[in-house]
Amino acid sequence: MMSIVARPRAGIVALIGLLALSTAARSLGAQTHQSVFLSPTEAAAIRGALGKTPLLDRSFAEARAIMDSAFAHPMDVPQPGEAGGYAHERHKQNYREMEDAGLLFAITRDAKYARFIRDMLEKYAVLYPTLGPHPMAQNQAPGKLFHQSLNEANWLLATAIAYDCVYDWLKAAERARFEANIFRPMADWLSVAQAKEFDRIHNHGTWATAAVGTIGYVMGDTSYVNRALYGTKRNRTGGFLRQLDLLFSPDGYYMEGPYYVRYALMPFFQFAEAINRRQPSLGIYEYRNEILKKALYSALQTAFPNGIFPPINDASRTMAIDAPEVVLALDLAYQHYGPNENALGAAAIQNEVILNSAGLEVAQDLARRTTPPRMSWGSVEFTDGPTGENGGLGILRAGRGRDATMLLMKYGVHGGGHGHFDELHFIFFDDGREVVPDYGFARWINIEPKSGGRYLPENDTYAMQTVAHNTVVVDETSQSLAKERVADTLSGQRRFFSTTNASIQVMSASADGQYPGVSEQRTMFLIRDQRLPYPVAVDLFRVNSDREHAYDYPIHFRGQLITTNAKYSADSALQTPLGTAFGYEHIWKEATGIAPQPLRMTWLDGNRYYSLITAPGDSAQVFFGRTGAHDPNFNLISEPLLMIRAHAKQKLFASAIEPHGYFSEPEERSEQARPKLQQVRIISDNADASVIDVEGEGGLHWTVMVSNSTPSTTSHHHVVANGRAYDWTGNYAVEGVQAAH
Amino acid sequence: MMSIVARPRAGIVALIGLLALSTAARSLGAQTHQSVFLSPTEAAAIRGALGKTPLLDRSFAEARAIMDSAFAHPMDVPQPGEAGGYAHERHKQNYREMEDAGLLFAITRDAKYARFIRDMLEKYAVLYPTLGPHPMAQNQAPGKLFHQSLNEANWLLATAIAYDCVYDWLKAAERARFEANIFRPMADWLSVAQAKEFDRIHNHGTWATAAVGTIGYVMGDTSYVNRALYGTKRNRTGGFLRQLDLLFSPDGYYMEGPYYVRYALMPFFQFAEAINRRQPSLGIYEYRNEILKKALYSALQTAFPNGIFPPINDASRTMAIDAPEVVLALDLAYQHYGPNENALGAAAIQNEVILNSAGLEVAQDLARRTTPPRMSWGSVEFTDGPTGENGGLGILRAGRGRDATMLLMKYGVHGGGHGHFDELHFIFFDDGREVVPDYGFARWINIEPKSGGRYLPENDTYAMQTVAHNTVVVDETSQSLAKERVADTLSGQRRFFSTTNASIQVMSASADGQYPGVSEQRTMFLIRDQRLPYPVAVDLFRVNSDREHAYDYPIHFRGQLITTNAKYSADSALQTPLGTAFGYEHIWKEATGIAPQPLRMTWLDGNRYYSLITAPGDSAQVFFGRTGAHDPNFNLISEPLLMIRAHAKQKLFASAIEPHGYFSEPEERSEQARPKLQQVRIISDNADASVIDVEGEGGLHWTVMVSNSTPSTTSHHHVVANGRAYDWTGNYAVEGVQAAH
């Protein structure tokens, strides 16, 4: 998907020569219209930089290729159709082509691009007035061209840019016709007929306000602009600014998670750029302590080392920072907030720039580099909730660039309608892969035969449920009984987060109320010991109640189970689901047994082995399972998991996950298929503190001590166990790690 | 895994300067020893070409990097250990390092490489005499350093090259010690103590003879050479020449399949090269009509367009033409048999050359190319069996380079102990993926915790069985009741093979006796119609018996089932295996129903959709399944399949497989998720001929006519059915295809 090296495309230089010959008869007069995205001056600068700036050349060539292909096919503006069907895709393609055509017209001054936009808008000017609300909206706010108004806003925002680029080239009568037949009715549809959606504090609202506001600027109609900025009531109970206030935590973390902020970054930045050009006095890029900068940077900083966004909440497992929305936001942020090494590394992964002065600046800075910059965000914690007081998201990283290891824990707000019931869930990413993964959404996005490409029933019944995640499940139910209404009132709480010691990084959080009467607390370390080739994750998950519960500790994995020391009975000839509700009904029970002390399991994923070494405690059960039960339409992806079940009032699950060895099937090479860590042992566990030992080959012996009381860096802890005393000050201490250099 | 573009490594040029300074005191005298692989003249030519020949530089730098790493670690010659364990891997690494050191010594004349070999051989000269037969041989012929003598032969062949390179540099006393303590005892162990293995017509025998013969040449002892060439009895009942006679069909096709010939190519070519240098009068490269050339070329020609060998019989799914054995064979064949465009394309995929004059020639020819050559073998049929009369292997290809589509049908000999019971099995490869795949072996090769990396029980109980393949299963049993002894007496028979019409390529074969009383015949087309974006596979599988049987037609696939028109009852809450034996016990039954007419199923694999459209006939059942039942050790890979079951005496399964559309999750784009083909209809089917219709959107209508009688290009066929007459001459005819240009 992503390639670091940008190469100059053959033919660029030849092309530039041709540009000079191409004239656009109607565009020779001075431009009076003030642009929202790309000014004639910027367009001229891009023209001058072509052939000398590889990434710019690449993006320019890509836009040209899209238009070459568009010119080679008949123009079509069909009657609206169903989601994912031909008409739906055609209208999407149309606005993308119009936007490209607009930018290419500005850059090349070749009138064929302007004619393309005019001719297509003429067709829309005929079609649009004949349309009523789309009949297949189902539960969404309907559009007219599309089944949902969200797509209509996508169309309008892109087309507003295209229209802006050809505004002066068009005849006044053409403009009047397009505005009367398309732009005003569509902007009214989005902001008046669908006022509720427009004022919603949600990415749908962002798209609608950005589209209506931008077309307002282009048409020179401030009533649309003000509606977009301040809401339909003009009192900031809705509108763009209110969304900037509420949709991000003070750190810029977006409540729905990175997959959704990726999508929202486009209207946020596209409209911000228009505001900045047309109403610079609003200081939109400075608004709320540069919240737009934080929004982009926090999104980039959540990305896995390969550029893919963690699939938190309803999200795809493959959406990455090279998505066009992030390219747009990154280039604009780079221009407005100044150069940044990691952002430039991200731009190198993106391998694409936008066609305005911001993209030009990024491309020029990259062109100056002799070695490509690496995206190497360090560890980071984000607060969540509008005031930053609703927990957060912790990310520990070790290593640099694409080889980095990353451990992510989720302890923020629920995330609304797209939220999953997964407080204290973690993802472990290593060697370019999501090794202990998040299932993401249950959706085959835009695949029409899979329920029109929409969310599938299994999204509610499995993907959202607690058991689909790597966090403890109580009594085979989900957190908040999987009720969004309840979950939205709750969040995790941060306990502590420390990365000052690069060899012993830690994050800790708690969750209370998700299971009434049960308090949960998880502390995760990312430990780098020079005796082990890769960083190790160490997990202390503590649950506490005054009543006995069944506590289930699931670890989802991928690849192939290689070996385990558990003695189990395999369900070889007859398989039944692991349970009956809250996602358990979707997991085939493959095997079960009494968990040994310690329990070890090694699996293979890619070219590396991974071992879980865990202290299950007395008489805990172990289950091996695989998704796919109660899935009559083959909607789920078949993936394995291991689960430990303990019945107790109070329970500490203590585990280590060690990456080790190497396997290459084509080379027929296998090295170190067994872990170096052998043992995880609970030394002491009480309301004040937990102490565990992690032991391995060659005398490796870590002692991990964690405070269970109110976080404090000065409190002293004293534990006597195992014939010795353990004393430390602060939230945690780890002994025995040989720091890697 | 494979990258086309070779880049010059930084530092090569600087290095060459250093070479001149390095002197090897003991090597200044004239070399009297005649080399078996790399002569001083060749070594000098390589020295001169460094820095000017990118692929040579790359391979040279790789060998140097290996030795740099070897020098950085303590030398270790441990006591023998278990397969896949440290000692086993260490001894493997040792011979690889000695061989690299030998070649680098010859090229650079840097004595540190010679000292490395000498020092290591000194250690082996101490260890080897103390060793008896390895105690963990299990069912294999034991080695002493390794659990099986095969690994010992690997060691000896590589070390013979190393020894050859430093022969003149060593002192006579050193040579005497190494020969007395290591080489003679080891050669005797392989050829006297293990005489049966040595004389075996099998790749193990090839390795043993090549190792013993090569060390014989290096030591100047013709008794070893003659034993290697003519067998332990010197009468050609065993030995290298006998293996060249019997292990290949006249076309060079290797009876065990491409995965095994890949492994055998190294001893065949390594020893041939030694013979050619030391006994050129034997004309080894010309032997049996240049059988070595055919052996290599037939192997290359079986490869999928991405370079991976089809996993026929017991084979890995990832072994590719860039394996070192194929690099060696390709370079030597290129030198001895002359340049070839496709071989050069294969060398570009390999991205590596051997360090002698043959590798130099390939690297120089590649360096002269401005655009990298593409490996684009056309369609090809191989005969099988020593006389070429035991069926064969058919490969139809459309398209060029990596984008080609490939359809492979297997109808040759059983393939011995590694053979699968899979006559008339097919593989469909498209868009860089094995779309209708072969399961390959059930083995996690060299992964020690998985039964020492050896074959797993599920290899016999599942992977070898008929149902694990894409061929008809009769009465839920396997061909020849899965008895190798029986299967070895049988083979498929070719019927016809024609690729003269690039739009309508066809292969046809039969299998009789695999199921007593049942004759089977399969005709497969690869059809390129300009109305469809990709080539389509059309399959007519005809079974015939005078008793009623249950005929099962399985299609294995990967990826995700998207949709089917079958009404089925899903085994959502309780799963049982599909059957009780012959591999059926390993398949979970996920759903079952009555197959509609036609039956359609669409699945997603990679970025493309695939649809099976088939005419199941009246009251056939359809099953959806997934491997994994009766797999208590999690040895199997979880993969889906569809199966049609018909009870009949005579049955024609008629199907089409259409690749279509595009899906990218990160782009959230899906196009044409439904096939253009709608219908497959059996018009007529009798002992003389079968006629089917394939119909699709936009009036697409193919009529496919196949003769069922003895193949003849002149016989006339006349069928009246469906209100019209179908007349054609020859084995087949297809109407209605609009040829693609």
Q: What is the ipTM of this complex?
A: 0.90
User: Which of B1, B561, B602 is opposite residue A666, by nearest beta carbon?
Assistant: B1
Q: Does A370 touch chain B (CB under 8 A)?
A: no
**CA distance to partner chain A, nearest, from residue B541 (Å):** 28
- Interatomic CA distance for residues B59 and A606, integer angstroms: 26
Sign of the Cα pseudo-torsion (B590, B595, B596, B601, in order) = positive
Q: b/e map of A186-212 (b: 16 or more CB within 10 Å)?
A: bbebbbebbbebbbbbbbbbbbbbbbb
CB within 8 Å of A152: residues ≥ 6 apart? A143, A144, A145, A146, A186, A189, A190, A211
Sign of the Cα pseudo-torsion (B111, B114, B116, B120, in order) = negative
Residue B296 · residue B329 · CB < 8 Å: yes
Beta bridge partners of A427: A408
Write the DSSP string, B469-498: SSS-EETT--GGGG-HHHHTT-B-EEEEEE
Question: What domains, with CATH codes, occur in chain A?
Answer: 12-367 (1.50.10.100), 380-735 (2.70.98.70)
User: Which of B323, B629, B666 is opposite residue A573, by nearest beta carbon?
Assistant: B629
Residue B475 · residue B549 · CB < 8 Å: yes
Neighbour count for residue A703 (Cβ, 10 Å) = 20
Chain B neighbors of A562, CB-CB under 8 A? 444, 447, 449-450
Nearest chain B residue to A638 by CA distance is B638
Tens digit of each residue's pLDDT (9 = 90 or more) over A210-248: 999 999 999 999 999 999 999 999 999 999 999 999 999
- Output the pLDDT for position B21: 39
Q: Residue A425: CA atoms inside 13 Å, Cβ hemisphere, count?
A: 32
Q: Kindly indicate the confidence band of residue A16, based on its pLDDT and cuts at 50, 70 and 90.
A: very low
Distance of CA A339 to CAs A146, A330, A373, B354, Å? 39, 10, 12, 47
- Output the pLDDT for position A84: 72
Chain A neighbors of B1, CB-CB under 8 A? 666
> What one-character DSSP code corresponds to residue A505?
E
Q: Kindly indicate the confidence band of residue A372, based on its pLDDT and cuts at 50, 70 and 90.
A: confident
Average pLDDT, chain B: 94
Q: What is the mean pLDDT of residues B444-472?
A: 96
Name the token pair of B694: 């394939």
Residue reference for tokens 């071992």: A611
A134 is catalytic: no
Contact A671 B89 (CB under 8 A): yes
Residue reference for tokens 């172990």: A622
3-state secondary structure B685-701: ECCCEEEEEEEEHHHCE
Beta bridge partners of B396: B407
- Output the pLDDT for position A296: 97
Q: Kindly indicate the confidence band of residue B741, based on its pLDDT and cuts at 50, 70 and 90.
A: low
**CA dihedral in degrees (A264, A270, A274, A280; nearest 10)?**
70
A260 is catalytic: yes
Contact B447 A604 (CB under 8 A): yes
Q: Look at residues A689, A723, A731 and name the one whose alpha carbon lies nearest to residue A708.
A: A689
Catalytic residue among A260, A263, A610, A726: A260
Q: Name the burial class of residue B711, with classes exposed (0-12), middle (13-18) and buried (19+) by CB atoms within 10 angstroms of its CB.
A: middle
> What one-character DSSP code corresponds to residue A29?
S
Collapsing DSSP to helix, strand or coil, A289 comes out as helix
- H or E element, residue B255: none
- Between residues 633 and 672 of chain A, which touch chain B (CB distance below 8 Å)? 634, 637-638, 663, 665-666, 668-671
- Interatomic CA distance for residues A416 and A487, integer angstroms: 8
Lowest mean pLDDT among B246-255, B319-328, B620-629: B246-255
Q: Look at residues B287, B256, B189 and name the one whose alpha carbon lies nearest to residue B198.
A: B189
Residue B158 · residue B99 · CB < 8 Å: yes
Sign of the Cα pseudo-torsion (A343, A346, A348, A353, in order) = negative
Neighbour count for residue B612 (Cβ, 10 Å) = 25
Q: Among A562, A604, A674, pick the best mutation site for testing chain B contact (most B Cβ within 10 A).
A: A562
Collapsing DSSP to helix, strand or coil, A110 comes out as coil
Q: Does B446 touch chain A (CB under 8 A)?
A: yes
In A387-490, alpha helices (H) = 457-458, 484-487
Catalytic residue among A336, A418, A420, A549: A418
Lowest mean pLDDT among A522-531, B100-109, B383-392: B383-392
- Output the pLDDT for position A7: 39
Tens digit of each residue's pLDDT (9 = 90 or more) over B279-332: 999 999 999 999 999 999 999 999 999 999 999 999 999 999 999 999 999 999
pLDDT over 90 at A31, yes or no:
no
- Strand ranges inside A290-330, DSSP E: none
- Interatomic CA distance for residues A205 and A275, integer angstroms: 17
Write the DSSP string, B410-467: EESB--GGG--S-TTEEEEEETTEEEE-----SB-TT-TTTGGGSB-HHIIIIITSGG
Chain A neighbors of B573, CB-CB under 8 A? 576-577, 585, 629-630
- Interatomic CA distance for residues B357 and B56, integer angstroms: 10
**Helices B357-367 and B40-49 sit at what angle, rounded to 10 degrees?**
30
pLDDT over 80 at B713, yes or no:
yes
Distance of CA B629 to CAs B464, B577, B643, Å? 16, 6, 16
Tens digit of each residue's pLDDT (9 = 90 or more) over B387-402: 889 999 999 999 998 8
pLDDT over 60 at A6, yes or no:
no
**CA distance to partner chain B, nearest, from residue A275 (Å):** 28
Beta bridge partners of A641: A556, A625
Tens digit of each residue's pLDDT (9 = 90 or more) over A410-436: 999 998 899 999 999 999 999 999 999
User: Which of A84, A665, A671 is opposite residue B670, by nearest beta carbon?
Assistant: A84
Pair type for strands B599-605 and B560-564: antiparallel
Chain A neighbors of B669, CB-CB under 8 A? 446
Q: What is the mean pLDDT of residues B460-478?
A: 98
- Between residues 22 and 81 of chain A, which touch chain B (CB distance below 8 Å)? none
Average pLDDT, chain A: 94
Q: What is the mean pLDDT of residues A545-553?
A: 98
Q: Where on the phi/psi map is residue B307: left (φ > 0), alpha (ψ -120 to 50), or beta?
A: left
Contact A450 B563 (CB under 8 A): yes
**Prediction pTM value:** 0.90
Q: Kindly indicate the confidence band of residue A348, based on its pLDDT and cuts at 50, 70 and 90.
A: very high
- Output the pLDDT for position A741: 65
Residue A207 · residue A154 · CB < 8 Å: yes
- Interatomic CA distance for residues A407 and A174, integer angstroms: 56
Q: Look at residues A319, A276, A274 and name the one whose alpha carbon lies nearest to residue A299.
A: A319
Tens digit of each residue's pLDDT (9 = 90 or more) over A593-631: 999 999 999 999 999 999 999 999 888 999 999 999 999
**CA dihedral in degrees (B36, B37, B42, B43; nearest 10)?**
-110
- Output the pLDDT for position B555: 98
Residue A598, preceding peptide bond in cis (omega within 30° of 0): yes
- Between residues 535 and 564 of chain B, which touch chain A (CB distance below 8 Å)? 560-563
Q: b/e map of B116-132 (b: 16 or more CB within 10 Å)?
A: bbbebbbebbebbeeee
Contact A663 B574 (CB under 8 A): no
Contact A670 B447 (CB under 8 A): yes
Contact A575 B575 (CB under 8 A): yes
Write the DSSP string, B278-321: H-GGG-TTTHHHHHHHHHHHHHHHHS-TTSBPP--SS--SS-BT
**Helices A149-166 and A258-278 sit at what angle, rounded to 10 degrees?**
30
Chain B neighbors of A85, CB-CB under 8 A? none
Q: Does B604 touch chain A (CB under 8 A)?
A: yes
Residue B598, preceding peptide bond in cis (omega within 30° of 0): yes
Residue reference for tokens 């009876």: B255
